[in-house]
Amino acid sequence: MGKPRRVLFISYIFPPLGGPGVQRNLKFAKYLPDFGWLPHVLTVKDVTYHSHDETLIDELPPQVKVYRSESLDPWRLSARAFPGLMSQKGASGETKRFRATSAIGIYKKIRDYLLFPDAQVGWIPFAYRMGLNIIEKEKFDAIFARATPISCGIVAYCLSQKTKLPYILDFADLWTDDPYTTVPTSLQRRGHEFLEKKIVGCSNAVTVATGGIRSGFANRYPWLGDRIELLYNGFDEMDFAGRVPSALSRNGRQIVYMGSLYDHHIENLRYFLSAMQMLPKKILETLSVRIIGNVVPSANAIVEEYGLKSNVHFSGYLSHSEAIDHLTSSDAALLFVRPGDIGMVTGKVFEYLASGIPIIACAEPIGECATVLKMAGRDSFLCRPNDPAAILHTLLELEELGWPRANLHGTHQFSRKNTTGRLAALLSRIA
């Protein structure tokens, strides 16, 4: 392989920040050098964020440079003013998090009214200036930006306009048509529509994490044609190499839920707990559910409401490596997609696939998440998310079958390295 080509890789959310939103950015940067593209990462200095994982940055190859700029956004300002708010390790090793309070909720509402297009708008001038300096010092062939937050996309657009470098935008979520995002005013709604048309419409290519996002952009920007590339979130085979499943000092069967438990998951949680309540006592006494990740404050109270406090355990946020240990050592993985949502493909499904354990998928059978499971041949335990009887049937079926592990033949198409190879091919097409 000859001298690698270079890409300026813009990502506000980047290690040592942790959580599922970091994985896509990290793995692209990790594997691009294997395909002849050397990323130089432009990100922000330390910010206040709900999860930190210092181990992730060690995954980057030594030749990948990371540049960190200043910012005047709320996350950066709070980290400078109150460094104690940064996530810290507790005595038991788990990462502590902020506790959601009514004051924080009020702050977020005020912030959303005042800051446009997002809370990271104060990062744009600093990232733009540092980006220009990096481009002047290093020869780049293209720009790649994760468009969450949207401010990253604005930085990429502005740098491209100034330097004439082609740019790719990456979307793991919808933008103007995102059902999970509330825009506070009609003026801001029109502003987002203008920005999307300008930034996406002028891009040289777009990568997306779901087919639903691809369809939306293809309808609004038909001139992009085959330059809208579907790159599913995936799993890193290196994260699973050499791991030997163990019982982790527990008795009975364990179901693991990996990832954040948001407000929109509470409906799923209630239906699942209803199904657990109907299990025969003999099975319920030996069944536990471990939820690994950030949870809304109401989750504990809901578990107590269903009388399942002894069965459901909250671990809080763990490092990615620790979470994978729990996943591979569990008897089944639990997946929630909100009832009626047919476009969501949650990132955790791919690591669930790589684990080989059964996946209790509480998701719409006609949804894209179900499609991914079918592509991998792992839809045996798919059940409607709002049907406790169907969920109960799935749990009883698993018990009867002995919680069987699956072969991994259908999962390799979703490896992070394979996906990054397709990103590299797209970069080569536009540059």
**Cα gap 191→116, rounded to integer Å:** 9
Mean pLDDT of 108-134: 91
At 96, the pLDDT band (50, 70, 90 cuts) reads very low
Question: Does the structure show a pLDDT above 50 at 98?
Answer: no
- Output b/e per residue, 419-429; b: 16+ Cβ within 10 A: bbeebbebbee
pLDDT of residue 86: 54
**Residues 6 or more apart whose Cβ sits within 8 Å of residue 62:** none
**Cα gap 269→256, rounded to integer Å:** 13
Question: Does the structure show a pLDDT above 70 at 90?
Answer: no
At 89, the pLDDT band (50, 70, 90 cuts) reads very low
Whether 225 and 205 have beta carbons less than 8 Å apart is answered as no
Q: pTM of the predicted model, to two decimals?
A: 0.90
Mean pLDDT of 29-41: 98
Q: Which pLDDT tens digit goes with each residue over 218-271?
A: 999 999 999 999 999 999 999 998 877 665 546 789 999 999 898 999 999 999
Q: Which pLDDT tens digit goes with each residue over 360-376?
A: 999 999 999 999 999 99
pLDDT of residue 82: 81
The gap between the terminal CA atoms of the chain, to the nearest Å, is: 18
Measured from the Cβ of residue 103, the count of other Cβ atoms closer than 10 Å reads: 8
pLDDT of residue 105: 62
At 1, the pLDDT band (50, 70, 90 cuts) reads low
Q: Which pLDDT tens digit goes with each residue over 285-343?
A: 999 999 999 899 899 999 999 999 999 999 998 999 999 999 999 999 999 999 999 99
Question: Does the structure show a pLDDT above 80 at 99?
Answer: no
pLDDT of residue 181: 81
Tokens of 283: 């099975």
Q: Note the Cα 369 to chain centre separation in Å.
A: 14
Q: Note the Cα 193 to chain centre separation in Å.
A: 24
Average pLDDT, the chain: 91
In order of their start, the domains of the chain are 5-234+415-430 (3.40.50.2000), 242-412 (3.40.50.2000)
Tokens of 274: 């209803």
Question: Does the structure show a pLDDT above 70 at 402?
Answer: yes
At 145, the pLDDT band (50, 70, 90 cuts) reads very high
Q: Which pLDDT tens digit goes with each residue over 199-214?
A: 999 999 999 999 999 9
Whether 51 and 95 have beta carbons less than 8 Å apart is answered as yes
Q: Is 233 exposed, middle or buried (0-12, 13-18, 19+ CB in 10 A)?
A: buried
Q: Rounded to whole angstroms, what are the CA distances from 137 to 65, 75, 132, 152?
A: 13, 29, 9, 21
